[in-house]
Amino acid sequence: MKYLFPSLKIGLVIPAYNEELNIGKTIEQIPRNISDKLDVVVIDDGSMDKTSDIASKYNITLLKHPKNRGNGAATKTGLNYCRERNFDIIVILDADGQHDPKYISNFITPILGDSIDFTIGNRFKYYYDMEPKRKLCSKLMTAFYFIFLRRKVADPTNGYRALSSKLLKELEFESEYSLTQEMLYKIIPYYKYKEIPVKVNPRNHGQSFIKIKNYLLKILLLFLKFYIFPKVRKITHKILSDEFRTRVKSYYLKT
């Protein structure tokens, strides 16, 4: 078999929760000619159905959480697995079949050739019939990043993305719920990134477990933690440092 990226160590991270009706098809659709060192890593996030049983029938790595901790926690488990094994590139996609695996190579190529460290899917490049409240949430996030971080991301809630080994080594992620947004806070202001046009498949089975109100609240808290608080600390430190130097200088002038 001729591989697209021979000898490249690629980790394909797939968090899954109660996806027994989708996980098998998702795995089967992954192109096998990506790399001879491709490791498909499925993280069962405490599923109460047969997700693990079905996934284990394939030639993949299966990691399991004893209880449900959320998509972010499952993704972190997969990223940590890849970090420990020094993967060259890590691709993240959902288990529900909406992220078409045929685009995987499109996420990898820019990282190899264009000094890009991060790629993220853009569903709006093509027509995408998103639920109105979810589309509003996505557009609000786009405006948010442009206003505060001076960066444009057309589809910031898209979980289909890829990271370079450099990113994985330099960054630590904390959130177990809004990891997708924590990534953007920590990546897009400081690293080169590229948006990848993707078409989304309809979800055939199951439902999304994301609650819009909770999601927006978590994003607000993350914004305070990773953007506002660091700036406040920096300004406070500067003020205190200047004040300290002034007092020291004044003391020596008097003596």
Question: What mean pLDDT do residues 94-111 have?
Answer: 95
What are the residue ranges spanned by the domains of the chain?
10-230
CA distance 77 to 187: 19
Topology of domain 10-230 in CATH is: Spore Coat Polysaccharide Biosynthesis Protein SpsA; Chain A (3.90.550)
Split at pLDDT 50, 70, 90, the class of 151 is confident
pLDDT band of 204, cuts 50, 70, 90: low
Calculate mean pLDDT across residues 19-43. Answer: 97
Task: List, for residues 223-232, the tens digit of each pLDDT value.
Answer: 666 666 666 7
Supply 121's token pair.
């899917």
Confidence check: pLDDT of 247 > 90: no
Q: Could you tell me the pLDDT band of residue 76, with boundaries at 50, 70 and 90?
A: very high
Helix (H) or strand (E) holding 164: strand 161-164
Please state, in angstroms and rounded to a whole number, the distance separating the CA atoms of residues 62 and 60: 6
What is each CA distance from 179 to 172, 176, 189, 202, 247, in whole angstroms?
11, 6, 16, 23, 44
Task: Give this prediction's pTM.
Answer: 0.79
What does the pLDDT average to over 16-26? 96
Q: Are 17 and 48 in contact (CB under 8 A)?
A: no
Q: 138 or 109, which is more confident?
A: 109
